[in-house]
Amino acid sequence: MEAIYRSDSRRVLATLIRLLGDFDLAEEALHDAFIAAVQQWPRDGVPANPRAWLVSAGRFRAIDNLRRRSRFDASRRLLLAELEEAASPFEEGEDVEDDRLRLIFTCCHPALPADAQVPLTLREVCDLTTEEIARAFLSSPPTIAQRIVRAKAKIRDAKIPYQVPTLAELPERLDNVLRVIYLVFNEGYSASSGEALVRTDLCAEAIRLARLLLELLPDPEVMGLLALMLLHDSRRAARTRADGELVLLDEQDRSLWDRTQIAEGLALVSRAFASQRIGLYPLQAAIAAVHARAEDAASTDWRQIAGLYAVLQQLAPSPVLRLNRAVAIAMCDGPEAGLAEVDALLEAGELKDYHLAHATRADFCRRLGRREEARAAYRAALALVRQEPERRFIEKRLAELDG
């Protein structure tokens, strides 16, 4: 039951939202469906298609609940009438594979406030908590929760359609959808908190959604995003040791990298660049491609990587991009050059709450032999980190300095 919840609950929810037309009603129906499964499956056995069973059970329970409540609530009577008139029974063979893509486009509808679209999608499509989303946006959980509640109400009251837009509408809706998919992947690739470094379910789901989107719209940005995710995900097996400890990129066993994913990713980068419309995702994928092509860490073309980050920074200025470029500069010109860049970022206050900025500064100071500064920076990173493998890695670095 736990495995089915992890793998299918958000897909079931997406289909229930489509069938019921209401986020809150669908979430309640999802919980009711799993309660019914806990009661019935041990007795009757797991159905051949658990997802279809859960959708059907959730939908019927939602309608039953509406019938009971409709005696006291006129708005519920109206919703019940609409559901009973419009909704046919859910068929077990019905295709629901793109329901989550429909849900993403609904959550990213231009009628919704821009600052609510991505948090709503991360909450409803990916089951991230408001705390996880707040950390990703450097915001507070109550602020994020308010945005999500208001966005749900807007979708309901404005009757925003639950559908993938037409081909003519797709380009203007694309940026936020790509951003959401990439944020899903990032949470999977480097979980914001918890015991595990990687959440493979989120990585796989982001890649699956990008493939669906590429079928709809063979745009260079979609190609770039899919390539970027494939190239990063190709390193998954080498990123941790058997005991779960973090392995840095330059120490990874590259024989463990997934060559099939790398080949697909490199081909997509080439296709994106051939279009001569080079945006953010193809450029980021090109950086990942430089790493993928290097036989070992020593042969990595860091000068090219620094140049690509400079172009990215011109297109979309970002303190995190500047931090990444600082790492590339340090690899080209030495840690002192990288340290100057990081210090400028921290002095500006842009990344003072970002643990990787402090960890990067600590590493540069360590390499320069400035042990006290390195200790202080590692302690600052330790106070901010939420992920256990990263925490243990920083503690190990501190212990090495103290030793």
Closest to 24 in 3D by CA, of 157, 163, 201: 157
**Both 107 and 172 in a single domain?**
yes
Q: How far apart are CA 214 and CA 272, in angstroms?
A: 12
Q: Could you tell me what percent of the chain has a pLDDT over 90?
A: 51
- Assess if residue 342 is contained within a domain: no
- Assess if residue 240 is contained within a domain: yes
**Both 113 and 127 in a single domain?**
yes
pLDDT band at 403 (very low <50, low <70, confident <90, very high): low
Q: How far apart are CA 160 and CA 96, in angstroms?
A: 20
**Both 196 and 223 in a single domain?**
no
CATH number at residue 79: 1.10.1740
Indicate the pTM of the whole model: 0.78
| 54: Cβ contacts below 8 Å, ≥ 6 apart | 4, 8, 12, 30, 33, 34, 37
Q: Which has the minimum average pLDDT: 197-206, 326-335, 336-345?
A: 197-206
Q: Report how many domains make up the chain.
A: 3
Residue 194: predicted pLDDT: 62
Domain extent for 84: 2-89
**Both 36 and 113 in a single domain?**
no
- Assess if residue 113 is contained within a domain: yes
Q: What is the mean pLDDT of residues 43-59?
A: 90
Place of tokens 């945005």: 147
Residue 109 has pLDDT above 60, yes or no: yes
pLDDT band at 192 (very low <50, low <70, confident <90, very high): low
pLDDT band at 254 (very low <50, low <70, confident <90, very high): very high
- Assess if residue 197 is contained within a domain: yes
Of 216, 236, 268, at which residue does a domain stop? 216
Of 178, 200, 216, at which residue does a domain stop? 216
| pLDDT tens by residue, 375-397 | 999 999 999 998 888 999 999 99
* Spacing of C-alpha 178 from chain mean position: 10
**Both 7 and 69 in a single domain?**
yes
Residue 315: predicted pLDDT: 92
**Both 64 and 127 in a single domain?**
no
**Both 205 and 222 in a single domain?**
no
- Assess if residue 28 is contained within a domain: yes
pLDDT band at 95 (very low <50, low <70, confident <90, very high): very low
Closest to 360 in 3D by CA, of 327, 336, 332: 327
| pLDDT tens by residue, 265-293 | 999 999 999 988 889 999 999 999 999 99
| pLDDT tens by residue, 287-311 | 999 999 999 999 999 999 999 999 9
Q: What is the mean pLDDT of residues 62-89?
A: 62
- Assess if residue 230 is contained within a domain: yes
Q: What is the mean pLDDT of residues 214-231?
A: 93
What is the rounded average pLDDT for all residues in the chain?
Answer: 87
